[in-house]
Amino acid sequence: MNKFTKKTNPSEDGAGTGRTGTPWVAGLILKMGVMMIIIAAAFIARVHLNDKTEQLAREASEIRKQIEEKQKEIKMKEFELAQLKSWENINAKIRQYNLALHAVNPSQVRYMKRFEGRVTTPSLYGGDTRVADTSAGTMQTSAGEIQ
């Protein structure tokens, strides 16, 4: 036994029988292996996430392009619809198909009056004037009958 360290030498009797002194190396290698596996897994996960992010960015870019194309298409259809609804186009079709259409006579126009929440419309058939009471949701004739 050493006086200063109070340790026994392996050559002395009964000192550390069966121990070689290498178990700490195996533990160190095992710990380092686990740390390397964790680092490798984190690296692989990061690469996978970056790849997925880039793929989603490409898809988003393609979808934005499709949206812009559809918006342009909508604008073109709205312009085409406005052209088809224009009086010049309608008048040209009337002449093309030789339709007997003409402007309306002022006597053919009926006007509706609105006052105090009531709308009156003249009837084309009888002398009665139908009144729609917008507050009650019912129709009345000038005689007061509710329909």
pLDDT in tens, 97-106: 988 887 788 8
Residue 110 located in a structural domain? no
Quick check: is 51 in a domain? yes
Reply yes or no on whether the pLDDT at 54 is more than 80: yes
Number of domains in the chain: 1
Q: At what angle do helices 87-96 and 23-85 cross, to 10 degrees?
A: 60
Token pair listed for 78:
């709205």
DSSP string, 70-137: HHHHHHHHHHHHHHHHSHHHHHHHHHHTT----PPPGGG----EEETTEEEEE-SSSS-EEEEETTTT
Over residues 85-96, mean pLDDT? 91
Domain presence at residue 101: no
Task: Give the pLDDT of residue 104.
Answer: 81
Structural tokens at position 130: 């139908």
Q: Which domain holds residue 79?
A: 24-87
Full-model pTM: 0.44
* Six token digits for residue 65: 């392009």
Q: What percent of the chain has pLDDT over 70?
A: 63
Segment of 57-61, 92-96, 127-131, 140-144 carrying the highest mean pLDDT: 57-61
Domain membership flag for residue 29: yes
